[in-house]
Structure 1
Amino acid sequence: MSPAYPPNGLEFAVPHMSRRQVLSLIPAAGLLAAAAPVRAAAGIDHARLIANTVAMLAGTPDVNARPEVAAKLAAILGAARQRLAAMDKAGDGELFSGLKLGTDDVNLRLAYQYLYEIALATRTPGSALEGDAAAQRRVIDGLGWLHERYFGDQAAGYYGNWHNWEIGIPTHVSRTLALLAERVRDERPDLTATYLASMDAYLRSGKDGDVDLDSRFHTGANLADITANRIVQGALTGDDARVGKAISDQATVFATIDPYNLQHGNTDGYYRDGSFIQHHSVAYTGSYGKALLTRVVQTLKTLEGATSGGASEDLAAVVYRWVADGFAPLIFEGWMMEIVKGRAVSRPTTGYADVGVIVEAVADLADHVEGAGALALKKYVKFLPAADTSSFVSPVSVARYAAIRADSAIPAADLNPPERCVAFNAMDRTVHRRPGYAFALARSSDRISKYEYMSGENLMPWFQGDGAYYLYLAGEDQREVFGVDYYTAVSPYRLAGITAPVEERRTVPELYGRLWYENPGHPLNFTSSSESQNTYVYFPRAGNAFSGGATLGAYGAAGMVQSDDAAYTAKQAGTLPDDFVVYRNARATKSWFMLDDEIVVLAANVSGQGGRDAVTTVDSRIAAPGDAVALTGESWDGGAWQAGGTTPPRWLRYANGTRRTAIGYAFLTRQPVAAGLETVTRSRQVVRTSNPAAGVTKNVFTASINHPATGHLTALAYALVPNATEARLRGYTHGPLTVLANDRHVQAIKHRTLGIVAANVFADGPRPVERLLVDGPASVIVRYGERTTVALSDPTMRRDRVSVVLHGAPLRLDTADEGVTVRRVPGGTLVQATIRHAHGRTFTATLR
């Protein structure tokens, strides 16, 4: 199985927790018993709960006096003054100048956000607006005005995105009411109850105005947001039952998702292997996952001392494991990897900004985790690049973060070991890390979506889950290499790693003239947030079962059979409306073998389908126009490779002299490669409708291989070599890599120096690979040496057992994971793993 590395040698083992285990912790931790969530619970200090909320948002006199917090205080004050000025300039029908209300739910949410920002400045110790009664009165009047005209009428409201009505607006309202609780009681004693009644009514995906754990909307980060708001609301009204129900509902997000025993049918949340899923099938650690992390840590802070027994150390330990096994592998030098952002990849402020949010939560979490775990988190805070604390939510967090960074007794240390390979098979992702680089791979299956498009974001996502990969190099400013500009400048048909058919596709707005497909009269009832919209438009799943792989120590193998998405399949079956547009995908069987100095990529059975050519993109990279970029290579006869020629290269090297980085491509099969550089200027609006319209200019490098519809180039193999020199690339001529098999049944390689044989077997039945006989479908890694180690997994997640026979002298069992057996058979040794309900987990054995 994928190893759970203790941070920096510290033993801090936290078991993965079922819902039953989580709920059993709640009474002991002083949270409320979930067995009877609506029963009035003793020991809730509502005043303390509100005071904690205000201190979290506004800080305290002692904290705010610290010089490190000055920038945050200035940001709070600056935002409030800007909003007050906008109120002064508001025209007829406006609360804030330029913010038209009545048809745009985003503008209504912003109006509530602006009121919150003013209220926050009036409660922030040390702010020039602290205690400003006039500003507070304007906020209260504004709340009343917005409710009367735009929020109170249920028949007129609830246009646009449901999230704004059920989460976005209630978050700002609840916090504003908490900040101004005393003044609201004095001046508008009916306002809080009025808003609570309306917010309950807008909770339309709930039940009787409350959370419904069976609702597909009340899961994961969304559930944490809604329940956090309801905790504050209950404290404002002294409603023990409301607070208790909200706490017990939120507690369910701490439970590790067991896909074979789903609670309330919910697949959203954290899995045993560190995966995080939101929207039922989207890999989402870097967006919704960080939102959930932030919210639950804020809840721990809010409840501290407000319920009997204080916050739960046990639940905090669960969150620690989210950080160590879920977030840390996905963060490279302070950058959140693209493979877990869903539609958020198209936003301008991702990557480093994502990690800034996580850092705030980690710094706060360190105060709730005991012993070695707390120290490990503080070391990690120091290890990551300095964060922009002006974007932190809490001044208290700013001070805490600054204290950790300034403490010379805390050494900087990563939560990742220097070498790590993590198979996030529950969300079809793989991360491979070595000093100097990190490799991130996005797959898809009948379990996990190919991509996510929604709300005009990520307009051209079609191939992002078809084996798209991202090779991050140490020392880079990743904003110049990936992020929104990568998707803007690079063709969606030429993302690194994908095999795409040669065709032009249209975006959802181009197809339908709006941000979704509308057909409420169809039996599937296509509306903006319908299940059919999710299934066929927003985040369609693939059709293949094989997607996964094995890890052996810090080495990994992954494989995938590329397929059509659910929409294309349903259209062929006659399920979808005639005017619903679908696209057929290319076909390919692919493997990625992740070693020390290289990542080996195999593709077989490649076809564009339907008489179309297909193109496999070896890599696409962007650079600033002024960067000194060079492309060199060598042909198979030893001569210099020429761009635009027909001579197949043995290797290519892309180097950015300005950034002092390089990547090599060692080709293990002989085929023409189209490689070159071009300058591209595009607006970021090509990937997200609300992005700024200004053009972005990038130098784009692309290396690709064409698969003609009438040709025979259906298989290829190459190695990505991070930080490669030309001398090192020449070494692959007689180097350690051998391709043992590369067809639709088996893909396998051998690395002579490492003593590794790795294979993905896609077909049923025993399949020979070198000195192995693999019972497929399976993913297998064997490392030979003084002791032989074997790793097995089932990428289809459908089998009960996987096995491999090692031919040769019989071997004896040294150690093995539970469920692995070893016995002698004629001609060798059989290693068999019982993998029923393992959800793609790796099983290992050591033999001698």
Structure 2
Amino acid sequence: MNGPSRRLFLQLGGLAALTAACAPRRKADPATFTLLRRRWREVTLGYPGTFDPEREPYRSRLARLGAQARRHRDTMTPTARSLWPDLPFPSLDATPARLRAMARAYALPGTGLTAEPGLGTAVAAGIEHYVRHVYAEDAEQTGNWWDWQIGTPRALLDAAVLAAAYVTDTQVAALCAAVDAFVPESRLDDYEGNSTGANRVDLCTVTLLRAIAGADPDRAALAVSALSPVFPYVTDGDGFHRDGSFIQHGSVPYQGGYGAVLLTGLATLFAVLRGTPWEITDPAAGTVLDAVDLAFAPFVHDGACMDLVRGRGITRGSYGDHRRGREIAAAVLLLAETAPEAERARWRAMVKGWAVRDTVKPMLTAAAQSDLAFHGRLSAVLDDATVPAAAEPAGHRLFPASARAVHRRLGWCAAVSMASSRVARYEHGNGENLRGWHTGSGMLYWWARGHGDHYSDAFWPTVDPYRLPGTTVSTRRLPDGAGGAWGDTRPPAEWVGGATDGTYAAVGQHLYGLESTLEAFKSWFFLDDTVVCLGAGITCRDGVPVETVVDNRRTGARLTVATGWAHLDGHGGYVVPAGRPLRTLREDRTAAGVTRTYTTLWLDHGVDPDAADYVYHLMPGAGPAETAARAADPGRARVLANTSAQQGIEVPSLGVTAVNFWTGGHAGLLTASGPCAVLVRDLGDGTATVTVADPRRALDELTVTWDRPVAAVTRGHPLLERAETGARLTLTFTAPADHEGASRTIAVRLVVSTA
């Protein structure tokens, strides 16, 4: 049976929102809040509906939860200083978490304590005690605001809702009064500061739980209406951008942190509130559906979320990328339950593909230990023969608003993280990621088959932070947390981004060093089996060597170095023009009690270089013979220019010419009137495409000339003001600055020679 179309879904949402706004206010009856309590349990705990408690692994996992809850109940010893002797107050995280675990054991079947009066009473008494001694309405908020306004109240309210039968009106009133003190209605008045993006969704979730616990229809309505600022696209700062970027903390790309929290929160609220007077019907909420494909899926590779959109979270232990990937997968499957049929089918196939390919930390096995609701939903998808396991999509995605790019080809994937005047070099805060200084200096991540754990297994604590792959850096020593906290590390660079036609790409970064005089121009040209990397104008006066790190792999695999190329067994190949010595190092690095072996390859630009440059090719998954053959064929990817004015290549076998114009000028057959990125593809069938972008977002007009005979423009673009064909193609675009660095593609028919 076919579900509603996407268009109908949004139209009906708009109609419902208008109807709700015009209707007189209605007082919800108690049955509505009974429904919401049941829905909260069903959605967040997954029962009933997603798993059979008599089957494994659910039976064992539920029994363990029951045993844990029994220990918590039996060891609870209320005093003025603690609720459990081993958790002295304020214990803003651990004590509420234990109360919530007890409430879950009460609410779920198969725990041995299901609906057990003694456990329900213990949960209620624990909440009352904690509210009296720690989370009281007149308590002083100390430490991190998040604990008082999101983490602690959510856990306490969750426990109160799940064990509602034993939480008295007096206990509920005291809890609600405390929540109202720290999360007053006015907290949701302004969409700014730490009440944006994922934080706003969390605050709305707390407000809804407070409404459910206190049977308060006004706060339920507030929780939903206050979500509306989250949905519209933004052009600056926190939220979703039209290119698929998601930003939090003003300048940090964060799909793999706050973004995952936001997606989980919204999927939960959509599911809990459906069919109630507060169902989310804002037409702009369609942005969330779009975000699954535009913002999240591009950064999930074989079930793991790429670190370049995880902010300071990259240092939170090994395999954090796989944990975040599971969280995104869980949110997508939950969101699919309330999405139109087309999205539901596509997302289920996508998640199934992620789960099938994640052999490093199998998704289903991990879910059994942490999230039974997700395990049940994922099991249903994996067992459904009508749901195909979608393959990794081939193609290129460029995210100008977050200075990120992701490239997928058969058997490998690569991604680059940059920084600009809009995007932070890195984020640190709360003592996390203090040495992430150079992650925005053009770090080039890549995965070939069998390397799904490359950046997962103790990579961040053990890697040399001055030699991150792909980066060009001054080796000047930096203090921990250099540059300011919470993403306050934006360089002055405006030209950061590039052009892509969805298959290939020309990506560039005007690089400025962190607390350094370093300046450079870096370009990456993403092709079928290669990333061609160019650097130019590398200048520095720090009095120390400057290096470009060709790679730094967490491996002890055999390294072969020959004239013009190198190869790392089981990983890939590197081509460096003859006469440019490639430095190498094999070392064991130890940190946090673990040791890992690294193989580093770099180009040394010397102390205080003046306009130094480099060229190298990265060939993920290539064997030694392929690498040697590429080194012997320099004409396959010919460098047209490599200066601080232009960087470009020509690849005749692919029909590709690509140039990053740092200033206007000429390279190969291309001429541009101003700074821009241009990618031309001769498709080999008498047609071609010309893709342009204004990464600086500064041009009122741009003229691009391709010195190639063109018969006609067959597909234009609203930006295209004028096109001149004939012996050469001249395209004039108006106001490219207004398009946020996005790529625009023009199709043409070539003049076919009859000679």
Aligned with 1:561: secondary structure?
strand
* Aligned equivalent of 1:664, options 549, 573, 598: 573
For residue 147 of structure 1, give the secondary structure of its aligned residue in structure 2. helix
What residue is the counterpart of 2:337 in the other structure?
A: 367
Counterparts of 1:417-566 in structure 2 under 5 Å? 417=393, 419-478=394-453, 481-483=454-456, 485-508=458-481, 538-564=487-513
Per the TM alignment, residue 315 of structure 1 is displaced from its structure 2 partner at its CA by: 6.8
Letter in 1 for 2:118: A
Q: Does 1:679 align with 2:666?
A: no
Q: Distance in 2 between matches of 1:326 and 1:537?
A: 22
Query: Using the alignment, how far apart are the partners of 2:258 and 2:135 within structure 1?
Result: 26
Distance 2:83 2:369 in 1: 27
- Encode CA deviations 1:322-351: one digit per residue, 9 max, x unaligned: 111211111111111110000000011411
The alignment partner of 2:447 has SS state of strand
* Aligned mates of 2:114, 2:294 — CA distance in 1: 42
Counterpart-to-counterpart distance in 1, 2:26 and 2:441: 51
1:611 maps to which residue?
543
Distance of aligned partners of 1:730 and 1:253 in 2 relative to their CA distance in 1, 3 Å threshold:
same
**Is 1:714 the equivalent of 2:623?**
no
Is the 1:362–1:377 Cα contact (8 Å) retained in structure 2? yes
Letter in 1 for 2:203: I
The aligned residue for residue 344 of structure 1 is 313
CA displacement 1:649-690 (0-9 Å, x = unmatched): x111112xxxxx22111113632221121111111xxxxxxx
1:46 corresponding residue in structure 2: 33
> What is the Cα deviation at residue 151 of structure 1?
1.8
Identify the structure with bigger relative contact order (alpha carbons < 8 Å, sequence gap 6+). 1
Determine the C-alpha separation between the residues in 1 that align with 2:215 and 2:720. 55
Rounded to whole Å, the distance in 2 between the matches of 1:710 and 1:446 is 25
Identical amino acids, percent of aligned pairs: 28
Q: Matched residues in 2 for 1:95 and 1:167: separation?
A: 21
Structure 2 counterpart of 1:56: 43
Name the aligned partner's letter for residue 491 of structure 1: D
Q: What is the distance in 1 between the residues matched to 2:79 and 2:176?
A: 29
Structure 1 residues 11 and 501: CA distance shift in structure 2, 3 A: farther
Contact 1:444–1:547 (CA<8 Å) still a contact in 2? yes
The 3 A distance-change label for structure 1 pair 459 and 484 is farther
Contact 1:201 1:209 in 2 (8 A): no
Q: Does 1:745 align with 2:641?
A: no
Letter in 1 for 2:32: D
1:355 aligns with 2:255: no
Q: Does 1:190 align with 2:195?
A: no
Q: 2:147 is matched with which residue: 164, 178, 189? A: 164
Task: Give the superposition deviation at 1:712.
Answer: 5.5
- C-alpha deviation, 1:737, in angstroms: 1.0
Consecutive unaligned residues in structure 1, runs of 5 or more? 1-9, 260-266, 512-532, 566-582, 636-649, 656-660, 684-694
Deviation (angstroms), 1:101: 1.9
Aligned 8 A contact 1:669 1:718 in 2:
no
Of residues 113, 116, 133 in structure 2, which corresponds to 1:149? 133
Which position in structure 2 is the counterpart of 1:734?
633
Deviation at 1:599?
A: 0.4
> Which residue in the other structure is 2:76 paired with?
87
Q: Aligned to 2:573, what secondary structure does the other structure show?
A: strand
**Counterpart-to-counterpart distance in 1, 2:415 and 2:27:** 47
The aligned residue for residue 402 of structure 1 is 379
* Distance in 1 (alpha carbons) for counterparts of 2:72 and 2:354: 34
Residue by residue, what CA displacement relative to the aligned partner does 1:770-825 show, whole Å, maximum 9, x if unpaired? 11111221011011232121000011122233331011324310113332245227
Post-superposition offset of 1:34: 6.4
User: Which secondary structure does the structure 2 equivalent of 1:440 belong to?
Assistant: strand
| Deviations, residues 735-755 of structure 1 (Å, cap 9, x unaligned) | 401111111111111112111
Cα distance in structure 1, aligned partners of 2:470 and 2:401:
21
Q: Pick the aligned partner of 1:272 from 242, 255, 261.
A: 242
Match of 2:258 among 272, 281, 288: 288
Asked whether the 8 Å contact 1:31–1:312 carries over to 2, the reply is no
Counterpart residue number, 1:264: none
Secondary structure of 1:190's partner? helix
* CA distance 1:730–1:712, change in 2 (3 Å): farther
- Deviation, 1:837, is 2.0
- Any unmatched runs of 5+ in structure 2? 356-362, 750-755
Three-state SS of the structure 2 residue aligned to 1:93 is coil
Does the aligned pair in 2 maintain the 1:64–1:73 contact within 8 Å? no
Contact 1:336-1:352 at 8 Å conserved across structures: yes
- Describe the SS at the equivalent of 2:180: helix
Tell me, in whole angstroms, the C-alpha distance in 1 between the residues paired with 2:296 and 2:369.
Answer: 18
Deviation at 1:193, TM superposition (A): 2.2
Q: Is 1:136 matched up with 2:109?
A: no
Q: Aligned Cα RMSD in Å?
A: 2.9
The alpha-carbon distance between structure 1 residues 564 and 634, as it changes in their structure 2 partners (threshold 3 A), is: closer
1:294 to partner: Cα distance: 0.5
Identify which range, 231-240 or 821-830, moves more after superposition. 821-830
Match of 1:654 in 2: 568
Choose which of 47, 65, 76 in structure 1 pairs with 2:53. Answer: 65
State the partner residue of 2:299: 330
**Residue in 1 aligned with 2:111?**
127
Residue 499 of structure 1 contacts residue 586 of structure 1 at CA under 8 Å; is this kept in 2? no
The aligned counterpart of 2:752 is none
Query: Which amino acid is the alignment partner of residue 567 of structure 2?
Result: R
Task: Report the count of equivalent residues.
Answer: 732
**Residue in structure 2 matching 1:798, options 698, 722, 735:** 698
TM-score (norm 1): 0.81
| Pairwise CA distance, 1:85 | 5.6
When the two structures are superposed, what TM-score results if normalisation uses the length of structure 2? 0.91
For the 8 Å contact 2:82–2:88, the answer to whether it is kept is yes
C-alpha contact (below 8 Å) 1:444/1:542 kept by paired residues: yes
Check conservation: 1:669, 1:717, Cα contact below 8 A: no
Counterpart in the other structure of 2:719:
819
Determine helix, strand or coil for the equivalent of 1:773: strand
Say if 1:172 and 1:726 are closer, same or farther in 2 by CA, change over 3 A. Answer: same
Question: Match of 1:562, SS?
Answer: strand
- 1:530 is matched with none
Residues 200, 209 of structure 1: 8 Å contact kept: no
Alignment partners' CA distance in 2, 1:13 and 1:665:
48
Report the equivalent of 1:115.
99
Supply the AA of the counterpart residue of 1:680. R
Output one character per residue of 1:310-330: Cα deviation in whole Å (capped at 9) or x when no partner: 565977754332111211111
Confirm or deny: 8 A CA contact 1:29 1:311 kept in the other structure: no
Q: Which of 596, 600, 609 is residue 532 of structure 2 equivalent to?
A: 600
Which of 211, 215, 218 aligns to 2:188? It is 211
Aligned-pair distance for 1:586? 2.1
The answer (yes or no) to whether the contact 1:116–1:176 under 8 Å persists in 2 is yes
Give the whole-Å Cα distance in 2 for the aligned partners of 1:77 and 1:240: 34
Is 1:630 the equivalent of 2:558? Answer: yes
What residue number does 1:809 align with? Answer: 709
Q: How far 1:165 moved relative to its partner?
A: 0.9
CA contact (8 A) 1:815 1:846 kept: yes
Counterpart of 2:640 in 1: which secondary structure?
Answer: strand
- Greater shift after overlay, 811-820 or 591-600? 811-820
* 1:28 correspondence with 2:28: no
> Secondary structure at 2:520's aligned position in 1?
strand
